[in-house]
Amino acid sequence: MRATLPSMASLVRQALREDVGSGDVTTRCVVPSGRLGLGTIRAKEPLLLAGLPLAREVFRQVDPTLRFEPLRAEGSRVGRGTPVARIRGRAASILTGERTALNFLQHLSGIATYTAKCVAEARGRCSVRDTRKTHPGLREIEKYAVRLAGGRNHRFGLNDGILIKHNHWRIAGGVKACVERARRSKHRKPSFPVQVEVSTLPDLQEALEAGADSVLLDNLSPQQVRRALKLIRGRIPVELSGGITQGGLGRFAAVRPDCISLGALTHSSRWVDLSLRLEGAGK
């Protein structure tokens, strides 16, 4: 996981603070403090498993005496009914951490499962990338789930790449002026290629004449993309984006761009279904 242990621990701490607050009142009222339990997390549908390190950290923070045992490897494909992890120890502690751990697992496994389907749909004709359309505070782990499933990450934030979008060049003099300014700028690291977003062939021509290192073709049809690729003639990398989902990805991959980016990987992937069943394991 790209997230460092301190950052992962901080994220889990925040999630537990949100869910548990000053204490799990229901569990305190009804479950004897000394009761031991065995919790088994199972997949309730086929999925690509992601988030086990976070689930482990949840139970560790709730109660360091709990024993978390992964039964399947992170990133593995599992079928419906497959046990993926077990937790042993104080039943009350398992109950307190249950929802937070499942939330991480269901969300990240959902992203990984959907990303894997998109990668399969591309069939090696292009790479599949994510975007910055992530849930605030969860970008690191959401992009981790994309990588785990065979997708690639676009920039992590505004500080680690140049992408001149429509609103940039509309307000700052047009495509050509912005590309030329970015290439000369003292704020640009030499390792940062200048990528520009365009939606018309005239704008694309401006980007090429100005020396753009890469273009993002936004909201073009496959037919329009073909015309754009003829204009580019393989000189620079081409990324496609704009409302593309798994269902339509194959038509765009057939045109053979370098990559396709989908905001849907992180903002619209459905949570998959996992559950935790708790059984007694003595007093």
Are 141 and 42 members of one domain? Answer: no
Are 141 and 246 members of one domain? Answer: yes
Average pLDDT for residues 247-266, to the nearest whole number? Answer: 95
Position 211 scores a pLDDT of: 95
Are 104 and 231 members of one domain? Answer: no
Q: Is the dihedral of CA 20, 23, 25, 27 positive or negative?
A: positive
Is residue 170 among the annotated active site residues? no
* Catalytic residue chosen out of the listed positions 197, 203, 206, 239: 197
Q: Which residue has the tokens 């969300």?
A: 107
pTM to 2 decimal places: 0.94
Which of the residue ranges 4-18, 73-87, 180-194, 247-261 would you say has the lowest mean pLDDT?
Answer: 4-18
Position 282 scores a pLDDT of: 59
Average pLDDT for residues 243-270, to the nearest whole number? Answer: 95
Residues 6+ apart with CB under 8 A from 79: 43, 46
What is the β-pairing status of strands 238-241 and 259-261? parallel
Domain range for residue 243? 123-267
Position 7 scores a pLDDT of: 83
Whether residue 4 has pLDDT greater than 70: no
Are 150 and 240 members of one domain? Answer: yes
Average pLDDT for residues 233-247, to the nearest whole number? Answer: 93
Percent of the chain with pLDDT over 90: 94
Position 38 scores a pLDDT of: 98
> Vertex 52, ends 84 and 157: CA angle to 5°?
145
Are 139 and 27 members of one domain? Answer: no
Position 124 scores a pLDDT of: 96
Is residue 44 among the annotated active site residues? no
Whether residue 43 has pLDDT greater than 70: yes
Average pLDDT for residues 14-18, to the nearest whole number? Answer: 97
Are 160 and 250 members of one domain? Answer: yes
| Contact criterion met (CB below 8 Å) for 195 and 216 | yes
pLDDT tens digits, one per residue of 175-231: 999 999 999 999 999 899 999 999 999 999 999 999 999 999 999 999 999 999 999
Are 85 and 140 members of one domain? Answer: no
- What is the CATH number for 58? 3.90.1170.20
Report which of 114, 186, 196, 115 is spatially closest to residue 150, judged by C-alpha positions: 115
Are 203 and 89 members of one domain? Answer: no
Are 42 and 132 members of one domain? Answer: no
Is residue 133 among the annotated active site residues? yes
- What is the CATH number for 164? 3.20.20.70
| Contact criterion met (CB below 8 Å) for 70 and 52 | yes
Average pLDDT for residues 99-119, to the nearest whole number? Answer: 98
What is the β-pairing status of strands 214-218 and 238-241? parallel
Are 143 and 262 members of one domain? Answer: yes
What is the β-pairing status of strands 83-90 and 36-43? antiparallel
Cα 77 to Cα 113, 149, 189: the distances in Å are 9, 10, 40
* Catalytic residue chosen out of the listed positions 42, 133, 152, 188: 133
Whether residue 1 has pLDDT greater than 70: no
Here the tokens at position 279 are 């059984």
Cα 267 to Cα 31, 130, 136, 143, 276: the distances in Å are 38, 10, 11, 11, 25
pLDDT tens digits, one per residue of 54-75: 999 999 999 999 999 999 999 9
Position 3 scores a pLDDT of: 52
Is residue 197 among the annotated active site residues? yes
Are 226 and 90 members of one domain? Answer: no
Are 114 and 153 members of one domain? Answer: no
Report which of 194, 186, 141 is spatially closest to residue 2, judged by C-alpha positions: 141
Is residue 218 among the annotated active site residues? yes
Separation CA 84–CA 86 (nearest Å): 7
Separation CA 21–CA 41 (nearest Å): 24
Separation CA 216–CA 193 (nearest Å): 12
Mean pLDDT of the chain: 95
| Contact criterion met (CB below 8 Å) for 261 and 26 | no
Cα 192 to Cα 2, 237, 259: the distances in Å are 21, 14, 18
* Catalytic residue chosen out of the listed positions 165, 181, 183, 188: 165
How many domains does the chain divide into?
2
Average pLDDT for residues 249-266, to the nearest whole number? Answer: 96
* Catalytic residue chosen out of the listed positions 72, 86, 99, 132: 99
pLDDT tens digits, one per residue of 113-162: 999 999 999 999 999 999 999 999 999 999 999 999 999 999 999 999 99
